[in-house]
Structure 1
Amino acid sequence: MRRLKRDPLERAFLRGYQYGVHGKSRDLCPLTNPNARQAWINGWREGRGDQWDGFTGTAGIHRLNQLHAV
């Protein structure tokens, strides 16, 4: 059975979110495609906001699952 790949923009968002929630710099974005880069930065911003709000550890995992389900 073939596994469906996720949308590249969704993957970029989730990867950026992970960088942001771990407090890493926005300058570490590895993407060059403008649309994917913007999705990554949007995820990074969301992750930084969640880090500032205290969504780290177990709470961060639950938050990431909510973002992924949408």
Structure 2
Amino acid sequence: MKRQKRDKLTRAHAKGYQAGISGRSKENCPFQAYDARSHWLGGWREAVEDRQLGYNVR
């Protein structure tokens, strides 16, 4: 059975989370489209919040 690709917005969120958890700035968002950008920033915000709570995943 072939593996199904994940939704682009889900991937944008995951990439934003990875950027946030590694300490990158939100200005480094690679997406220009509004939907993808908002999902990326949502993931970034979650990661920053998790880092403040002490979930340092490196």
Give the structure-1-normalised TM-score: 0.77
Q: Is the 8 A contact 2:17 2:44 kept in 1?
A: yes
Which residue identity lines up with residue 12 of structure 2 in the other structure? Answer: A
Aligned to 2:11: 11
Which structure 2 segments of 5+ residues have no match? none
Whole-angstrom distance in 1 between the partners of 2:4 and 2:42: 24
Aligned to 2:54: 54
CA RMSD, Structure 1 to Structure 2 (Å): 1.2
Which structure 1 segments of 5+ residues have no match? 59-70
Asked which structure has the greater RCO (Cα within 8 Å, sep 6+), the reply is: 2
Q: Is the 8 A contact 1:17 1:45 kept in 2?
A: yes
Displacement of 1:18 after TM fit?
A: 0.6
Q: Aligned to 1:32, what secondary structure does the other structure show?
A: coil
Which residue identity lines up with residue 7 of structure 2 in the other structure? Answer: D
Aligned length: 58
Whole-angstrom distance in 1 between the partners of 2:57 and 2:20: 13
> Relative to total residues, which structure has the larger helix share, 1 or 2?
1
Q: Is the 8 A contact 1:22 1:51 kept in 2?
A: no
